[in-house]
Amino acid sequence: MDHDQLQEIQRPLKDRYREDADAAKIRLHAKGDLGDGISCSVDTGRRMVEAGLHPATGGTGMLACSGDMLLQALVACAGVTLQAVATSLGFNVRGGTVSASGLFDARGTLGVDREASVGLEDIQLRFDLDADLDEEQRASLLKLTERYCVVLQTLRSTPTVTASLAVA
């Protein structure tokens, strides 16, 4: 897809959202089914992914780790966002990789140490690109990718999250 094709696709969407801000608000959904043992099968829209405990907390390593899945969502969103921004700016990004890492302290989720965090800390996102970009273009591409990446901004903004439990 080139700059003009992207603009043609997005122009009517942007116009509609300028006229009706509520039309731009879309509730996304995820659903999982509790599985055998300690697992949860998550429907990704393409296939089912069975998640389980990380080996550091008693898992076998045969099932997906939800912490890894969080980082994978960040990588996917950041990669798509970077490509959309580059296309919009007319930058030629021939390819590359996106990677993310985060520090997980198993003591927190296992209840070993009440002071240990539960969750990922020190998340690092990295882009290694095959592109001819000068320093100003690289800075602009990174800044706009960070600004428009939904998952990155969600992690940075600490959204309100509510939980409920119902029993049938």
pLDDT band at residue 21, thresholds of 50, 70 and 90?
very high
Could you give the CA distance from residue 155 to residue 119 in angstroms, rounded to a whole number? 12
Q: Please compute the mean of the pLDDT values over residues 90-119 and round it to a whole number.
A: 95
Mean pLDDT throughout 114-135? 96
Mean pLDDT confidence for 115-128: 96
Q: How far is CA 44 from the centre of its chain?
A: 13
User: Residue 115: how many CA atoms within 13 Å on its side-chain side?
Assistant: 0
Rg (CA), the chain: 19
| Collapsed DSSP state (helix, strand, coil) of residue 126 | strand
Query: What pLDDT score was predicted for residue 160?
Result: 94
pLDDT value at position 45?
A: 86
> Which is more confidently placed, 2 or 146?
146
Given a contact cutoff of 8 angstroms between Cβ atoms, the answer to whether 127 and 152 are in contact is no
Average pLDDT, the chain: 95
DSSP 44-102: -SSSEEEEE--GGGT--SSSEEHHHHHHHHHHHHHHHHHHHHHHHHT--EEEEEEEEEE
pLDDT at 37: 87
Residues 114-141: b if buried by 16+ CB within 10 A, e if exposed: eeeeeebeebebebebeeebeeeeeebb
* Number of Cβ atoms within 10 Å of the Cβ of 45: 7
Output the pLDDT for position 36: 86
Look at residue 33 in the predicted model and tell me its pLDDT: 93
**pLDDT more than 70, % of the chain:** 100
| pLDDT value at residue 147 | 98
Q: Which of 101, 96, 81 is nearest to 142 (CA)?
A: 81
